[in-house]
Amino acid sequence: MVKRVGCRGLCVNVLGVWASAIMLSANASAQTLPSVPVPSENPITEPKRVLGKILFWDEQLSSDNITACGTCHIPSAAGTEPRFGVNPGPDLTFVTPDDIFGSPGIPKADADGRYVVDASFGTGVQVTGRSAPTMINAAYAFDLFWDGRATGQFTDPETGSVAIAFEGALESQAVGPPLSDVEMGHPGRDWAMISSKLASARPLALATDLPLDVEAAIDSFPTYPDLFAEAFGDGTINARRIAFAIATYERTLISDQSPWDAFQLGDASALTPEEVQGWQVFQGSTCGICHVPPLFTDQSFRNIGVRPNNEDTGRQGVTGQPFDSGAFKTPSLRNVGLKSSFMHNGEFVTLQEVLNFYALPPGPGRFNVDPFIPSPIPPPDRGAVAAFLGTGLLDPRVANETFPFDRPTLRSELAANPVVTGAGVPDTSGTVPAMLVDNPPLAGSDGFRLGVTGIADGAQVELLISSVAPVGSVLTAEETVGPLTASLNGGTEPVATAFWPVPDDPTLDGLVLYFQWFVPATGVRSAVAEATIFCGTGGCSERCPGDVNADGEVTDSDFFAWVTAFVATPRSPEQEAACDVNRDSTCTDSDFFAWVTAFVNGC
Instruction: Please give the C-alpha separations between residue 132 and each of 39, 125, 470, 509, in angstroms, as whole numbers.
Output: 25, 16, 42, 36
Instruction: Identify the pLDDT of residue 599.
Output: 82
Q: What is the pLDDT of residue 30?
A: 46
Distance CA 68, CA 288 (A): 34
Residue stretches of the chain with pLDDT short of 70: 1-31, 552
Give the Å distances, CA to CA, from 50 to 78, 128, 190, 193, 257. Answer: 21, 28, 24, 23, 22
CA separation for the pair 440, 521 (Å, rounded): 30
Neighbours of 510 (CB within 10 A): 11
* Residue 198: per-residue pLDDT: 97
| Angstrom distance (rounded) from CA 411 to CA 432 | 29
Q: What is the C-alpha to C-alpha distance for residues 185 and 572, in angstroms, rounded to an integer?
A: 31
* The pLDDT of residue 583: 78
